[in-house]
Amino acid sequence: MFMRGNKAACFSRSNLVTRYTHQLAQAQGWKLRQRPRPLQLTPVSDPQQPPLTAYRAACLVLRPQDQQQSDDQQLLSLLTAAHPDLSSAIHLATSFAQIVRQRLADQFDSWLTQAAQSSVVLFQRFALSLQQDYDAIKAGLTLPFSNGHLCGHINRLKTLK
């Protein structure tokens, strides 16, 4: 029953030894040390609000203002007040989302300049990659054509295959 590689046997052996030592100690009148109980810590975060993960923060920043709740706006104002680089990144992200959603091609050039001159390195890189595809992005913002339906059909066909 007590084989070397058998985990169940190892656990039962350790329980057997533990029980035996406790019985032996009680019989001889030894006082055993009790395990310390875990500390009862006060909760650090508000259980009403879910934790601020990267995904939730991105959704919070990119959600249109008319769809934001008052709690979201308060949290967003706390984030912008916390750090100037974060405030700049939030401003650039919200303005870019607005440009794309509303297809504001005339504001794209000024946004691209702001992003390239930003102190946030990720936005500088993003602006550089957008600059490389400038003509395609500008056409996507100005022209009414879309290949969204075509992409949907191609995706459906790939799924069927």
Residue 44 has pLDDT above 70, yes or no: no
What pLDDT does 107 receive?
94
Residues 115 and 100: their CA atoms lie apart, in Å, by 15
Residues near 62 by beta carbon (within 8 Å), at least 6 away in sequence: 93, 94, 97
Residues near 56 by beta carbon (within 8 Å), at least 6 away in sequence: 50
Tokens 């533990």 found at: 18
Query: Residue 111: which pLDDT band, with cuts at 50, 70 and 90?
Result: very high
CB neighbour class for 18 (10 Å; exposed up to 12, middle 13-18, buried from 19): exposed
User: CB-side exposure of 74: number of CA atoms within 13 Å?
Assistant: 4
Please state, as a whole number, how many other Cβ atoms lie within 10 Å of the Cβ of residue 140. Answer: 16
Which tokens in the block code for residue 131? 């600059």
Taking the CA atoms of residue 79, residue 83, residue 86 and residue 90 in that order, the dihedral angle to the nearest 10 degrees is: 50
**Lowest mean per-residue pLDDT among 28-32, 46-50, 61-65, 120-124:** 46-50
What is the tens place of the pLDDT at every residue in 75-108?
888 878 877 778 888 899 999 999 999 999 999 9
Q: Find the length of the chain.
A: 161
